[in-house]
Structure 1
Amino acid sequence: MKAEAWIFASCTIFFLLVTPAYWLVTDASSHTGGGDWTGTSALTMTALLTLMVTIFLGFHAKKMDPRPEDRATAEIADGAGELGFFPPYSWWPLWCAMGLSAVVFAVAMSAWWMVIIAGALGAVALAGWIYEYYRGEYAH
């Protein structure tokens, strides 16, 4: 995890350097005075987000045993074994996305009757996605 922490630390440093530069460049190019508040606040939040991930990974890197990727003396065989569970293809995310898009469209059009129908169908799709591995071929 140390490598990942260093990657995010370098991103944090980059965003901390770019944010004031962006403010100054947009300040010089704007005729109204003041820089671009939207871009500057987005860059500030991005810097804070990468700082948060850096701190998280840094704390956990100290507590964990080094992975084979983190050791210079590791062999290829040290990384062998099961890496985790990777689910097969599923149609449920498509139906969830369609249900959510129908709800958002219905709210935008103020069609509250459609919000109820799309919300119910979206809830069924979400339940199907959640409970997908409790039945059928991939049941646990």
Structure 2
Amino acid sequence: MKTSAIIFSSGILFFLPIAFIYGFLTDFQELVGFPAILLVGLMSLMIGGYLFLHDRSIGRIAADDLDGEISDEAYEYGFYSPWSWWPITVATGAGICFVGVAVGWWIVPFGGLIALVGLVGLVYEYDRGNHAH
């Protein structure tokens, strides 16, 4: 965790000088590039600061151990159902929504409705039927 914090925090050392070099080269007339590069540097500092604070609060994790084994990180990541068709329904609805943004806004409610049906089906998939818990 500490290594990740150092890597993210060091982004400010790159992006801050690059932002000012970009600003000088464009005479600070270009109103998007300089603030954007500066904000990327500040964002990397913010993420690095969060990781430093998180490292200080939880201590060493298995990824920090140089002699660690893969089995040290072996824990349950979550429950996934490989036979479920509901993620395809949600993805279809989201895809139709994105097409609606590009083609015409009247398509978005149809995609939203399909995505909502898929989301409800995904959430309640294990409440009824053969796979109820």
**TM-score (structure 1 length as normaliser):** 0.68
SS of the residue corresponding to residue 80 of structure 2 reads: coil
Is it true that 1:121 corresponds to 2:97 in the alignment? no
Instruction: Name the residue aligned to 1:30.
Output: none
Q: Which residue of 2 aligns with 1:26?
A: 26
Structure 2 matches for 1:17-96, cutoff 5 A? Answer: 17-27=17-27, 34-72=28-66, 74-76=67-69, 79=72, 81-82=74-75, 84-85=77-78, 87=80, 89=82, 92-96=86-90
* Number of aligned residues: 132
- How much has 1:81 moved relative to structure 2? 3.3
Report the AA paired with residue 121 of structure 1.
Answer: I
The alpha carbon displacement at 1:47 in A equals 1.6
| Structure 1 residues 106 and 136: CA distance shift in structure 2, 3 A | same
Please report how far the alpha carbon of residue 4 of structure 1 lies from its aligned counterpart in structure 2 after TM superposition.
0.7
Percent same amino acid at aligned positions?
Answer: 32
Deviations 1:11-45 (A, max 9, x none): 22211221111222233xxxxxx342222222122
SS in 2 for 1:37: coil
Instruction: Give 1:82 shift.
Output: 2.0
Structure 1 residue runs of 5 or longer lacking an equivalent are 28-33
Using the alignment, how far apart are the partners of 1:139 and 1:115 within structure 2? 33
Match of 1:100 in 2: 94
1:107 deviation in Å?
5.2
Structure 1 counterpart SS, 2:74? coil
Q: Structure 2: which 5+ runs fail to align?
A: none
AA aligned to 1:23 is G
For the residue of structure 1 that corresponds to 2:10, the secondary structure is: helix
In structure 2, give the amino acid aligned to 1:118. Answer: G
The equivalent of 1:31 in structure 2 is: none
Distance 2:71 2:96 in 1: 48
* CA distance in 1: counterparts of 2:116 and 2:90, whole angstroms: 8
Shift of 1:65: 2.5
In structure 2, the CA distance between the partners of 1:26 and 1:132, relative to structure 1 (3 Å rule), is farther
